[in-house]
Amino acid sequence: MEKEQHRSINTTNGSLDDLKYQSGFGNSFSSEALPGALPQGQNSPLVCPYGLYAEQISGTSFTSPRKLNERSWLYRIKPSVTHEPFKPRVPVRGKLVSEFDKSNSSTTPTQLRWKPVTVPDSPTDFIDGLYTVCGTGSSFLRHGYAIHMYTANKSMDNCAFCNADGDFLIVPQQGRLWITTECGKLQVSPGEIAILPQGFRFAIDLPDGPSRGYVAEIFGTHFQLPDLGPIGANGLAAPRDFLVPIAWFEEDYKPGYTIVQKFGGELFTARQDFSPFNVVAWHGNYVPYKYDLSKFCPYNTVLVDHSDPSINTVLTAPTDKPGVALLDFVIFPPRWLVAEHTFRPPYYHRNCMSEFMGLIYGGYEAKSDGFLPGGASLHSCMTPHGPDTKTYEATIARGNEAGPHKITDTMAFMFESCLMPRVCPWALESPFMDPDYYKCWIGLRSHFSYEGMNAKSNDLKNEHDGSADRATVVELISKTML
């Protein structure tokens, strides 16, 4: 079945605060900035309307199954091929990695945590402020991921960035991003995310000055909405809340305009005399998009126990193995906690998946201290983790009388992957690394009381004339403890 077609016309160049979008996830969209700019009845006519060039961008192989095939047709003033040869960018950016091995990264099972990174004083745009924290696999082999962070204090000037390695999922934590893409413009605020698919050229402006955030990059696949299973047809992230830009173009002569292309983790530059954002019309299903995390519809336990964090998955990049993700994007939004007789914060855990966490604003329910907005943590495969000492003690002190409680003013997230990450040396040696992270659990003490259990056992045996067997007594003790 063909996906729903969305058509829009944008004839004004209004401010970004007045931006209009198309809505939907995975739809076949169409948009034109000038009436009649989209060819009718075919993709590549001999002469396109307004004398435009037709150019296709493919996000999947030509022969991918129709339900997985992603591509868009762009109708532009000049084709993107019109540039000088690419040359290695100088100076070399050594802190971007897309091929992880022993030469550029290392493994550790230790729990890691970073404090928020300060924005540099020297002029730094998104490209120069982007650095890899950890990852695994290879962009060349089309399998794996990289997790980056960025700090920036200036807009990109007379240049655009293109990532040939994979898709970017950008999570701004401080400062809005105005992102110009070949399909149009996106305004992305902290609390929202943007997905910039492999190969699209984009530029990032900073209307609020200093900016900071997180980036997940996936190789060889694209993000999709998770299946809902027993939840049914509704809940979590709704397709209609994903927003796609409307066609917008510029046609000015721009001598010395630079395309910066990330290819195999290395940066290359090519010069041209026009803006890459000269697309007057486009149609297809391979597009940049954004999502407001406040629109997420969370599900939660309504009787006992704590739900697995997978219940909060916004987007997933699947592997060939059912139910196993190359990378999940999971959030921990405001929500009610109502479970009875239950330790409500996240349980202590060792996971076959690896978890990288960040905090956009507020606090995180499992860490009372040390995990700050703009910071991050990494708990790798089978590395134990869970609530810190203060959180645990405060939770059990409230006992079973704790009533319903709403978590408010917070937005934490997690990048979770089945692949074990390698950590870059500059991340391990960073002055923002928290060397005392392990101490948040050292204070956990034993609450085990064998004597108390024996006393209860003897009391219950006396109540039952000493005739109760051990299994019956243990069951009775368990009930009295509840």
Going by C-beta distance under 8 Å and a sequence separation of 6 or more, which residues neighbour residue 188? 170, 172, 176, 177, 178, 179, 194, 290
Annotated catalytic residue, options 306, 341, 379, 447: 306
Active site annotation includes 306: yes
Query: How far is the CA of 426 from the CAs of 31, 127, 293, in angstroms?
Result: 43, 17, 31
355 known member of a binding site: yes
Q: Is 437 annotated as a binding residue?
A: no
99 is annotated as contributing to ligand binding: no
User: Do 6 and 27 contact (CB within 8 A), yes or no?
Assistant: yes
| 283 labeled binding residue | no
> Binding site membership: which residues?
349, 355, 364, 385
> Binding site membership for homogentisate: which residues?
364, 385
> Binding site membership for Fe cation: which residues?
349, 355, 385
Please identify every residue annotated as catalytic. Answer: 306
